[in-house]
A and B are shown apart, each in its own frame.
Chain A
Amino acid sequence: MSLHKDDGIVLFKRAYGESDRIVRIFTLTSGKIGAIAKGASKSQKRFMNTLEPFNHIAVEYFEKYGKGMVRIENAHVVEANAGIEKTLRKVCTASFFTEFADRLTKEREKNTSLFYLLKEVLTRIKDVEFDYRDILYYELSMLECLGYMPNFTTCVYCGKAMANENRLYFSSERGGILCPRCSRFIPHKTYPDEVIATLAGLKNGHPRPVPAADGEENRSVAPYDVGDGVFERSAREIMEGFVSFHLDVEFKSYRVLKSVIR
């Protein structure tokens, strides 16, 4: 049995038995861990307010080799989730991203960039109400961290660079765009060029959400050339098709989030 100290973001909690709590934490050095906190629902001392979703915590845990779940010995809050609960949209957005990290990572797979990205998302949600494009930006960033990024720049079948096309063909199965020739024999859907260009721009961080300066009203991303309605509808269709085909995951929080941002 050994004692570990780490930083982590609480992804999920569930009551277990009379007073215990099961949590999943995305840690900085060990990736996702499943943990049990004995007496967490009763303890006034060790875990009160700590093991709540979206909290960045410093955690000490015992690991018994051969056992999947670790036992949390001690934890304290580094950065609290306070403020996220003030609107339903913020909670749903934060829930979506924590579930995204939770469902798409395996236990004990270290991913430092994902840890910092998740921390950035949760910190920003406290200050800004995300619109769909903010969500999309961070969703693409997370996919990139996890190695699932769709290809928006070259034909996924023949590798041809795509430029100056009015309409582009996206294949969920292949995970990216197709050139007109390859689109003849690979199942796809057709989208306006601006939609794909915007997605590619988001992927490359342009335009990316802008942090508000002191005294300014918080604002997120710059406007796009394509109409909001067309872009959102198309982007949702592309992302939902891609995620459901490649990752075979249905996010519970996404269903609630969609009903909030519609």
Chain B
Amino acid sequence: MYYPAPIERLIENLSKLPGIGRKTATRLAFYLLNAKETYVADLSKSLVEIKEKIRLCSVCFNITDVDPCAICTDERRSKSTICVVEESSHMMVIESANPGMYRYHILHGVINPIEGIGPDEVRIKELRERVIREGIGEIIIATNPNIEGNTTAHYIAEMLQDLNVTITRIASGIPIGGDIVYIDPLTIKSSIDNRRDL
């Protein structure tokens, strides 16, 4: 089908986005064509801005537009505890459950040798430097409880064992509101192993 070159170019670019095929891209292109000029200008400005202004915080490696980020400069948060997470999106989830409590350290990945990702490819060295520099008392490792997340957690614990820091791991077990009958044996075992006093 023939479209004028600018529309064709827009369709091409939109269809490169994840989950968007040519048909959806065409629909979006025509929506933008008919949208108000101010909206299109705003949208294009936002797209340019995220590439120009968003960078990583030099302290925690969270995505931010100011360095250090708002979380690192928040004086109300505990200065002695850092919660270590895989990605910024994981931090958002923990933050929504514990607003304003912790400072974070974003690893930007986990150790995954099958994909060729070793310890040097994630920000573990920077975590160690930060623990020494800021005199951190506790590290909460909140990586996913899968093989890569657990490997990373064990490796971090090993890397920090010579420092005077308490290292804790988020619990894994039966979800709130869950039914024991439907829980797999590994999760049951973990929840029994990690039981706590009442």
Q: A interface vs B, CB < 8 Å? A: 12, 17, 44-45, 48-50, 52-54, 76-77, 80-82, 84-88, 91-92, 95-96, 98-99, 252-253, 255-257, 259-260
Contact present for A85 and B114 (CB under 8 Å): no
Contact present for B111 and A88 (CB under 8 Å): yes
**Provided the pairs A80-B186, A92-B113 are in contact, do residues A256 and B147 lie with their beta carbons within 8 angstroms?**
no
Cα of A99 to Cα of B184 in the assembled complex, Å = 27
Q: Nearest B residue to A99 by beta-carbon distance?
A: B114
Q: B interface vs A, CB < 8 Å? A: 19, 111-120, 146-147, 150-151, 154-155, 158, 175, 178, 182, 184-187
B residues in contact with A95, CB < 8 Å: 112-114
Cα of A179 to Cα of B157 in the assembled complex, Å = 52
B residues in contact with A48, CB < 8 Å: 184, 187
Mostly, the B contact residues are helix
8 Å CB contact of B116 from A17, A49, A81, A256: A256
Cα of A86 to Cα of B150 in the assembled complex, Å = 8
Q: Nearest A residue to B118 by beta-carbon distance?
A: A256
Q: Nearest A residue to B117 by beta-carbon distance?
A: A256
Cα of A85 to Cα of B187 in the assembled complex, Å = 16
Interchain nearest-CB distance for B92 vs A (Å) = 17
Cα of A18 to Cα of B52 in the assembled complex, Å = 28
Q: Nearest B residue to A53 by beta-carbon distance?
A: B147
Interchain nearest-CB distance for A194 vs B (Å) = 31
Contact present for A252 and B114 (CB under 8 Å): yes
A residues in contact with B112, CB < 8 Å: 95
Q: Nearest B residue to A46 by beta-carbon distance?
A: B184
Cα of A84 to Cα of B112 in the assembled complex, Å = 13
Cα of A84 to Cα of B148 in the assembled complex, Å = 10
Which one of B111, B119, B147, B154 has the greatest number of beta carbons of chain A within 10 Å? Answer: B147
B residues in contact with A81, CB < 8 Å: 147
Interchain nearest-CB distance for B178 vs A (Å) = 7
Other A-B contacts than A76-B184, A92-B113, A252-B115, 6 sampled, CB-CB below 8 A, are: A17-B19, A50-B184, A84-B147, A85-B154, A87-B154, A95-B114
A residues in contact with B158, CB < 8 Å: 87-88
Contact present for A253 and B147 (CB under 8 Å): no
Contact present for B115 and A52 (CB under 8 Å): no
B residues in contact with A76, CB < 8 Å: 184
**Provided the pairs A52-B147, A84-B147 are in contact, do residues A12 and B187 lie with their beta carbons within 8 angstroms?**
no
Contact present for A49 and B186 (CB under 8 Å): yes
